[in-house]
Amino acid sequence: MKEKRVPKGDVLEAARIAGLFGVKRTSDTIPIAIPPVEHAALTFDVQPMAIVVRTLVRTVYRTGVEVEAMHGASVAAFTIYDMLKPIDKGITIDRIRLVEKKGGKSD
């Protein structure tokens, strides 16, 4: 993992791409999630026994994109899980949560 590669490839880059697809394709799996996304970015904090996935999503519309952000984070986490499970049979996904929301109707 130090060199960002395992037998299946570059874990973090694969997870970043998958997470971006997850953000953009949220409405394919959650029917009422339809706001157009103007910006999406994923970052990873690699710790000794964890990888923290952070997703930032923006739109110019007066609606929230927190579901899109959490969907992208979950797809990235599933990708990390899938790529690392041959190496660590005890791997888990611990939680997905909203950290901060700005804008939209409720702000």
Tell me which residue has tokens 């395992």.
Answer: 6
Q: Is the pLDDT of residue 4 over 70?
A: no
Measured CA distances, 10 to 5, 16, 21, 64, 90 (Å): 4, 10, 17, 32, 20
Give a yes or no: residue 18 inside a domain.
yes
Residue 82 appears among annotated catalytic residues: yes
Span 89-101, pLDDT tens digits = 999 999 999 998 8
**Amino acid identity for residue 26 in this structure:** T
Answer whether 0.75 is exceeded by the pTM.
yes
In which domain, by residue range, is 25 found?
A: 11-84
Q: Note the Cα 80 to chain centre separation in Å.
A: 10
Q: Which segments of the chain does DSSP mark as H helices, in order? A: 11-24, 26-29, 66-84
Of 5 and 30, more confident: 30
Give a yes or no: residue 95 inside a domain.
no
Q: Which candidate, 32, 34, 24, 14, places its Cα nearest to that of 78?
A: 14
Of 19 and 62, more confident: 19
Write down the pLDDT at residue 106.
Answer: 64
Give a yes or no: residue 101 inside a domain.
no
Give a yes or no: residue 55 inside a domain.
yes
Give a yes or no: residue 36 inside a domain.
yes
pLDDT category of residue 16 using cuts at 50, 70 and 90: very high
Span 33-88, pLDDT tens digits = 777 889 999 999 999 999 999 999 998 887 778 999 999 999 999 999 999 999 99
Give a yes or no: residue 31 inside a domain.
yes
19, 72 contact by CB (below 8 A): yes
Give the integer Cα–Cα distance in Å for 98 and 25: 19
Give the integer Cα–Cα distance in Å for 35 and 37: 6
Specify the CATH number for the domain of residue 16. 3.30.70.640
Per the residue annotation, which of 10, 28, 45, 82 is the catalytic one? Answer: 82
Give a yes or no: residue 45 inside a domain.
yes
Give a yes or no: residue 37 inside a domain.
yes
Write down the pLDDT at residue 6.
Answer: 84
What is residue 81's DSSP assignment? H
Write down the pLDDT at residue 8.
Answer: 83
